[in-house]
Amino acid sequence: MAERTKILLIYTGGTIGMVKDYQTGSLRAFDFKELVNNVPELNQLACDLSGVSFKVPIDSSNVSPLHWKRIAELIRDNYEKYDGFVVLHGSDTMSYSASALSFMLENLDKPVIFTGSQLPIGDLRTDAKENLITSIQIATLKEEGVPVIQEVGLYFEYKLYRGNRTTKLNAEHFEAFASLNHPPLVESGVHLNVSHTSLYRKTDSESFEIHTKMDSNVAVLKLFPGIGQSLVRTVCTTTGLKALILETYGAGNAPLETWFLTEVKQAIERGLFVINVTQCIGGSVQPGQYETSRELMEMQVANGKDITTESALAKTMYLLGKNLSALEFKAVFERSLRGEMV
């Protein structure tokens, strides 16, 4: 008889794991047993579930690279014992965490599915149950004994996305996430429809390993009409700063004012890595398409192509942890490492 699929639930915090205490009316974090009690449907799943929780579950606004390290280590320590992992996480920073884990977990050949909810699991109209149950079902999918999903995904409201392609775009709707530059990997209706051509597969035969050195000496600077020189200079000269993600307009465009270009140029000359990503949630940087992006291109600013800001931030922290030269950093950044860009 074939062995039952084993899934590990990792609870980090967030609304999904809250239950209502009907005596006090307030929400509190659950333990694993309580979760199963709240979702008896879990007993019907054809897999064995185990759970592990952060000692102190956190609202995801408190997430830091140390929490990412903890998740990565939990997955590494349990990698051989389980067929897949479902990470329960607050939705606010879920795209950042899913992006970070996609870089920290290298040569993954099992599913790691992030999910959460807009309403607590104990709420009558909760979206948590569907998100949780379907995430687990997707994590158990196999074809000829091989996991269908072999990457970090994010499941929310009937769609599994590649985690490092997502952005949270709605604070209230159940459909809270979007992935405008990559199609959903799985859509859940009556059946689970897998888009096989959209799935990520590792390119070499190396075995799974984790990278936990994330260097957060990075800043994101969103351009806006009226941005002033002192702000740009203050950001660029921040003590210890190693990389600057410039969130530019449209297809990677920035002001042509001399002071702006000079600040960026001097920052690059001082050794800062500068990356151009668009503040649009879909589409791509197209260096040189307009004269307003040509100068940045000529200064050798790294082309973020169609990467999300969340993913650019995670990728930068990951690459800063590797002590690359400016040339290497630009070359590696502009390459897709985990399907995060074209």
Residues that bind ligand ASP (CB under 6 A): 13-15, 59-61, 90-92, 116
Catalytic entry in 15, 134, 140, 166: 15
Comparing CB distances to ligand ASP, the nearer of 130 and 295 is: 130
Q: Is 208 exposed, middle or buried (0-12, 13-18, 19+ CB in 10 A)?
A: middle
> How far, in Å, CA of 249 to CA of 230, rounded?
20
Token couple for 6: 């084993």
- Does 197 participate in catalysis according to the annotation? no
Nearer to ligand ASP, 116 or 147 (CB): 116
C-beta of 21 vs 59, nearer to ligand ASP: 59
Cα Rg for the chain, rounded, in angstroms?
Answer: 21
Closest CB 96 distance from ligand ASP, rounded Å? 11
We find the least distance from the C-beta atom of residue 113 to ligand ASP, in angstroms, to be 16
**Which residue's Cβ lies closest to ligand ASP?**
90
Locate 107 and state its tokens: 């040569």
Alpha helices in 18-113 (DSSP H): 32-38, 65-78, 94-104
Minimum distance from residue 88 beta carbon to ligand ASP (Å)? 9
Distance CA 42, CA 112 (A): 18
**Which residues, listed in sequence order, are joined to residue 9 by a DSSP beta bridge?**
51, 86
Supply the minimum distance, in Å, between the C-beta of residue 128 and ligand ASP: 9
DSSP 94: H
Among 58, 54, 84, which Cα is nearest to 71's?
Answer: 54
| Number of other residues whose CB lies within 10 A of the CB of residue 258 | 9
Q: Which is nearer to ligand ASP, 15 or 53 (CB)?
A: 15
- Kindly list the catalytic residues: 15
